[in-house]
Amino acid sequence: MNKKIILSAIITALLLAILACDLSTPAPKADPNAFNTLVAQTAQAQLTQIAAGAPTTLAQEPSPAGPTALPPALTDEAAIKQALLAKLGWAEAEMEFSLSQNTGQVARGGVKKTNEMQGAAWFAGKDAGGKWVIAYVGQGVPNCSDIQAFNFPTDWISHCVDAAGNIVDRAAAQTAPTQGTAPDVYAPNPLGPSFSGMWISNGMCYDMDILFHTTDASCDVLLDNSGTLIPKNGGLFSGYATLTPPSLNQCKAAQLSADPIAPNTNLYMCFKTNLGKYGFFVARKIQTGGIEFDAYVFP
């Protein structure tokens, strides 16, 4: 036999022996070739199952949980309406609601039951957590304790009732004199005959310094033929009124103006005379041709 053929047969036999040894000996787990071979075999097996129509279970990475969808935030109007429903205990279908003003921190409007003629005013404010709270709903004067947590404008709520049942002028209280100013002065109670039961006719001028009618430049106020008080010669009247006699410092803190003003029975209005004195005026009877009134001038 040719030596080359013999050598070739020996080499072939050795290679076959080595190959047989590799196939009979399991590869260690750390062998990357064995791992790759296992993956390929698994994939091939799954492809074979798919081709045969057999169900397969493929390993999948769990999908990460997405963020939980939050409900849409309520508008201010919707939040206030819900707060009103909760406060009144009404069903939504039986409530007619309106929002007239909203600053973003305080709001006001009206509410009534469906098919009813009369309604009420409501006032709401945001608490420290940004939640709308109904401070007051009704037709009267709110308690001061109910509204003190919110900075309602005084032209929204001019007065409130304190714990003792007294009517508080919120505008005067907010501009009350600070410590170190002159002590406050109050009118005598009752006023007495010198300050009560006076009369002013339509078209008549009145000197509020001496509480008597006049025809000269000492006139502080004229009652025109329509029954409107018109300040004269530097005299001033307040644009708001109180249910109780105001004090001297309250009148000094009042917003006085020279604008005409209609008197209102049993409501006290501050004034300032052309000589710089302060006092208050209250109409007791408004009659055809004139007004019966009480007044007081602070010393």
Is 122 within a domain? yes
- Cα 90 to the center of its chain, rounded Å: 22
Is 28 within a domain? no
Q: Model confidence over 219-256: pLDDT tens digits?
A: 999 999 988 999 999 999 886 677 888 889 888 888 88
Same domain, 249 and 214: yes
pLDDT(187) > 80? yes
Q: What are phi and psi of 85, to 5 degrees?
A: -60, -40
Nearest to 265 by CA among 282, 279, 281, 240: 282
Using CA atoms, how far apart are residues 102 and 125, in angstroms rounded to an integer?
9
111: containing domain: 76-170
Same domain, 198 and 293: yes
Q: Determine the average pLDDT of the residues in 270-287.
A: 92
Which tokens go with 48? Answer: 């074979």
Q: Determine the average pLDDT of the residues in 2-6.
A: 55
Q: Model confidence over 109-126: pLDDT tens digits?
A: 999 999 888 888 999 999
Is 51 within a domain? no
Q: Model confidence over 123-154: pLDDT tens digits?
A: 999 988 889 999 999 888 899 889 988 889 88
pLDDT(4) > 90? no
Percent helix, strand and coil across the chain, each to the nearest 5? 25, 30, 45
Using CA atoms, how far apart are residues 93 and 114, in angstroms rounded to an integer?
8
Is 288 within a domain? yes
pLDDT(88) > 50? yes
Across 58-62, 104-108, 292-296, least confident range:
58-62
Same domain, 164 and 109: yes
Is 121 within a domain? yes
Reported for 283-291, long-range contacts at CB under 8 A and 24+ positions apart, including other chains, are 284/197, 286/227, 289/201, 289/202, 290/199, 290/200, 290/201, 290/202, 290/204, 290/223, 291/199, 291/200, 291/223, 291/227, 291/263
Same domain, 160 and 218: no
Is 180 within a domain? no
Cβ atoms 211, 192 nearer than 8 A: no
Same domain, 197 and 284: yes
Is 184 within a domain? no
Instruction: Say which DSSP state 39 is in.
Output: H
Per DSSP, the three-state class of 248 is helix
Using CA atoms, how far apart are residues 156 and 214, in angstroms rounded to an integer?
38
pLDDT(169) > 80? yes
Is 290 within a domain? yes
Q: How many domains does the chain have?
A: 2
Across 88-97, 169-178, 215-224, least confident range:
169-178
Instruction: Say which DSSP state 92 is in.
Output: G
262 Cβ contact list (under 8 Å, min separation 6): 227, 228, 229
Question: Percentage of the chain surpassing pLDDT 90?
Answer: 38
Which tokens go with 186? Answer: 């109050």
Same domain, 132 and 210: no
Same domain, 199 and 249: yes
pTM: 0.42
Across 15-24, 79-88, 134-143, 208-217, least confident range:
15-24
